[in-house]
Amino acid sequence: MESLKGQLLLASPALFDPNFRRTVVLVTEHNEEGAAGLVLNRRSATPVAEAVPALAPLVEDEELVYVGGPVQQEALLCLAEFDDPDDAAMLVVDSVGFVPGDGDFGLIAGGTRRARVFAGYAGWGPGQLEAELEASSWIVEDSARANLFASPEADLWGSILRAKGGVYRLLALMPEDPSTN
């Protein structure tokens, strides 16, 4: 299978895992050893300035930490859009990549357009993501048309599905609990 690095995975209605229900995951790595990604639309209640004060210069005031996934939630990752993509520790897509972990974050902030801090990540072992795709658990979408740093109030999952059109537009209208329909 071709690498999905830099693509988005939208949880399909067939995915019942509460860790991923109605999530949008940016695939940050995908190769024969497995895959990793960040859930883009799950905020925690913890402010970045409280959880990791050193990263506060990179984000907006009062920005909250996002839950990047169920794996290693004690690990903090910072995803940013860089003015110069060569400044990223690891580039994911276009000018979006990970902030270097060893540096002056105030200085790094001067070279970023926006950033977000994540606790944990989503991970798949060899062949696991491919099996989930085969089971229709995920809908793959190009990340180029999505706002990877959408405001928390935006329904990122729904807006991407609506923009995709067709049957996906109908999925976006589906209530979170179908029994309330």
Q: Is the pTM of this model over 0.85?
A: yes
Which pLDDT score is estimated for 135? 95
**pLDDT score of 177:** 62
| Integer-rounded Cα radius of gyration of the chain | 16
pLDDT band at 181 (very low <50, low <70, confident <90, very high): low
Tell me the C-alpha distance between 62 and 160, whole Å: 26
pLDDT above 80 (res 81): yes
Residue 179 has pLDDT above 80, yes or no: no
Sorted by where each begins, the domain ranges of the chain are 7-180
How far apart are alpha carbons 76 and 117 in whole angstroms?
7
Residue 138 bridge partners (DSSP): 11
Query: From CA 58, how far away is CA 56, in angstroms rounded?
Result: 5
Residue 144 predicted with pLDDT over 70: yes
CATH topology assigned to domain 7-180: VC0467-like (3.40.1740)
Average pLDDT of the residues of the chain: 92
CA 41, distance to chain mean position in Å, is: 7
Beta strand ranges found along 18-95 (DSSP E): 24-31, 34-39, 43-47, 64-67, 71-82, 90-93
pLDDT in tens, 158-175: 999 999 999 998 888 876
The stretch 127-144 carries a mean pLDDT of 96
Determine the residue type at 113: R
Task: Give pLDDT tens digits for 12-41.
Answer: 988 889 999 999 999 999 999 999 999 999
Residue with tokens 């639309």: 41
The CB density around residue 110, as the number of other CB atoms within 10 Å, is 9
